[in-house]
Amino acid sequence: MKSFIRVMAVLLVFSIFSLALVSCGNEDTYVIGISQQQPHVALDTATEGFKQALIDRFGEDKVTFETQNAQGDPSTCVTIANNFVSKNVDLIMANGTSALQAAANATTTIPILGTSITEYSVALNLENFDGTVGGNISGTSDLAPLEEQAQMILDLFPEAKNVGLLYCSAEPNSKYQVEVVKAYLEQRGIVCTEYTFSDSNDISLVAERASDESDVIYIPTDNTAATCTGTIDNIVRPKKVPIIAGEEGICSGCGVAAFSISYYEIGYKTGEMAADILEGKADISTMAIEYDPNPVKKYNKEICEELGISIPDGYTAIEAGE
């Protein structure tokens, strides 16, 4: 009988020890929901950087990514966010303005990190924004130096008199960028005209009109435009109208130059922020929005050569595949 009791005691201790090991292992395993607004190079690259930062911190076996792409549909962003909340994921990464807005409306408790968001005060309708959203939201911005982008137009095309501002009217962050660039150029005597499209269905007609009436076209960091660079290029390039873009993904598809941040770097930074939150090293409610400190002047060698545009020193050629 005593032997039986001793055996049972050993088995009980072993069972408790095994459960403890399993429990300890689970403490460091995280499930992260990624909601990407739509597929295009810039957002794809930000997602890649985000994942890599977490893998670098935790290892591939300690973090699980549930990646969903809304294909540009805001209502799908809502469905994705609600699904992540129902699963009680450890953190939500919202890549794009619609994804962030949907996540913010879905939960006030699960940490939400945005990326590829140009201006958080515009995206979340914040008053007196001081750089920190507060609550359960923080993240990174893809805002590039807008006045420097506007000056790039003046530097590269000093003879330009009419600048067309081409963007999607459904994207408030695009409107914000255009207002800053427009004000800068108009103060210097440039005539600026806004050419807006509501979605990809009417972009051809609007791009046609913009290229007929403009010496130069400016396209901000605009998700809809980023998915339609081929369409824009096929219309604008044959008319020899140069495009200055807000980011290198658009520039690589249809532009001549851009003063661009690195989407991989802001994605990676967002991943580092996520790791700090998950490890308890940072309080998301006090985390300020982060920016890429080193934007780079880039140019599209192929289009510049075709249009006969000479790019001065200080610009980096966009490599194939970027």
Instruction: Please write the tens of the pLDDT for every residue from 112-163.
Output: 999 999 999 999 999 999 999 999 999 999 998 999 999 999 999 999 999 9
Amino acid symbol at 180:
V
Q: Residue 28's pLDDT band (boundaries 50, 70, 90)?
A: confident
What does each C-alpha distance from 283 to 265, 266, 312 come to in angstroms? 22, 19, 45
What's this model's pTM, rounded to 2 decimal places? Answer: 0.81
Q: Residue 6's pLDDT band (boundaries 50, 70, 90)?
A: low
Q: Residue 200's pLDDT band (boundaries 50, 70, 90)?
A: confident
Q: Enter the tokens of residue 296.
A: 């780079």
Q: What is the pLDDT of residue 117?
A: 95
What's the full length of the chain, in residues?
322
What does each C-alpha distance from 104 to 107, 142, 164, 231 come to in angstroms? 6, 19, 34, 33
Strands 137-141 and 162-168 turn out to be unpaired
Across 259-264, average pLDDT: 92
Q: Enter the tokens of residue 179.
A: 């207002």
Q: Residue 319's pLDDT band (boundaries 50, 70, 90)?
A: confident
Q: CB burial class (10 A; 0-12, 13-18, 19+) of residue 130?
A: exposed
Residues 318 and 300 sit within 8 Å (Cβ to Cβ): yes
Across 174-179, average pLDDT: 95
Q: What is the pLDDT of residue 3?
A: 53
Q: Residue 241's pLDDT band (boundaries 50, 70, 90)?
A: very high
Q: SS3 of 53, please? A: helix
H or E segment and range at residue 232: helix 229-236
Q: Tell me which of 235 and 320 has the higher pLDDT.
A: 235
Domains and CATH numbers, the chain: 24-143+262-291 (3.40.50.2300), 146-260+296-317 (3.40.50.2300)
Other beta carbons within 10 angstroms of residue 257's beta carbon come to 27
Across 70-90, average pLDDT: 97
Q: What is the pLDDT of residue 320?
A: 61
Residues 69 and 47 sit within 8 Å (Cβ to Cβ): no
